[in-house]
Structure 1
């Protein structure tokens, strides 16, 4: 079994998916104007490796708890149509190349599942490993997280759980690729046979160079 794993934000897409969704909702008047600036502060902490992912998830998803799930589903469908043209052609082609080769492919992202699945649909990636938001008794999001956020070393755990669902273990994987831009993804990058740094941040770029990992860009010219 060969697998190909893909990070989302700043890897397959040249922007932050959560920020894009918050802008979409803010433009509709469904979030306060200051929400995006607060979210971007969390993103900066994420890039610096100092963010508490559960705290960030509680802030972003908790703000949506006032809305009915059906309403959110409708907004997400609209959002998918808005962002589809923003997904780089090179990213789509990379995913298709692995799929055509018969590799089991999955999106592996710290992004909240309902946002990640929108991009998975655009990219043709049915398997989405993401941070699972908690639902309350009323069917609305609480801001909590089910299990561990799909972040840092927990990305590897999510992949292992995904393999187990397919009746496989990590030792049964013959060849594995992981594409990421972020130093935060080092645990999974070091676990695969073929790590690839995609438009990497400064720390990952230096580390990739020291290990002679391939570095590529998926940004459309």
Structure 2
């Protein structure tokens, strides 16, 4: 990365699914629970696909989705869920992490940038993924805990989706004693849902963009990065 000299801290923000990963980890976790027999395969796959289509269209009811997506976790409990997640990481996620994604992260590290992943996928799924990518700061969708300390099926705080990503990032900055003007920010994302945050940062990068984001990026002169070329 060739950066102009700046006294400001530099933050490199990344979406996760279809940005650093060539798949949707939330959706793939759902498919994994089907294969493992944790859910009724008869209707789960169809509902999971419908929620994914809503997300891509920018119409997802995130609260309904989280209730649906955490149903298997709530039933399995902490120990069995952790074991299942370890298998999911080994079988689905780790083989999908591509060298080009690691190289992009490393270029930002070498330039002295602080790296954050900000994702609408929940913390249970994404915590080990961020760790596998070597990223310490993760702003994921937080899950509410019940009186037993396990997931309730509801969201805790502001969902890190759409305009909620701007709110979550603002909260993170405030926790460091910063505002937007105190830092230089770049943000990589594939999704139309992330246009609010892409418009807020100093350097938006449409990465493997969906059709809506590609059109928006082209109209606004944003760089377009094809990290995972087709074919």
The whole-number CA distance in structure 2 between the counterparts of 1:26 and 1:62 is 12
1:99 and 2:109 aligned: yes
Q: How far apart are residue 139 of structure 1 and its match?
A: 2.2
Q: Which runs of 5+ in 1 are unaligned?
A: none
Checking the alignment, whether the CA contact within 8 Å between 1:109 and 1:150 is kept in structure 2 is: yes
Q: How high is the TM-score relative to the length of structure 1?
A: 0.94
- Among 39, 44, 55, the residue aligned to 1:46: 55
> Aligned runs of 1:130-149 on 2, under 5 Å?
130-149=140-159
SS of aligned partner of 1:137: coil
The aligned counterpart of 2:3 is: none
SS of aligned partner of 2:70: helix
Q: Which moved more, 1:164-173 or 1:95-104?
A: 164-173
Q: How far apart are residue 64 of structure 1 and its match?
A: 2.1
* Count of residues paired in the alignment: 220
> Aligned runs of 1:162-177 on 2, under 5 Å?
162-173=172-183, 175-177=184-186
- Among 81, 87, 96, the residue aligned to 1:86: 96
The whole-number CA distance in structure 1 between the counterparts of 2:45 and 2:153 is 17
> Aligned runs of 1:1-221 on 2, under 5 Å?
1-33=9-41, 34-82=43-91, 83-173=93-183, 175-219=184-228
SS of aligned partner of 2:40: coil
The whole-number CA distance in structure 2 between the counterparts of 1:41 and 1:195 is 29
The whole-number CA distance in structure 1 between the counterparts of 2:102 and 2:175 is 26
When the two chains are superposed, the root-mean-square deviation of aligned CA atoms in Å is: 1.4
Q: How high is the TM-score relative to the length of structure 2?
A: 0.90
Checking the alignment, whether the CA contact within 8 Å between 1:109 and 1:151 is kept in structure 2 is: yes
The whole-number CA distance in structure 2 between the counterparts of 1:104 and 1:161 is 16
The whole-number CA distance in structure 2 between the counterparts of 1:166 and 1:80 is 31
Q: How far apart are residue 63 of structure 1 and its match?
A: 3.5
The whole-number CA distance in structure 2 between the counterparts of 1:85 and 1:125 is 18
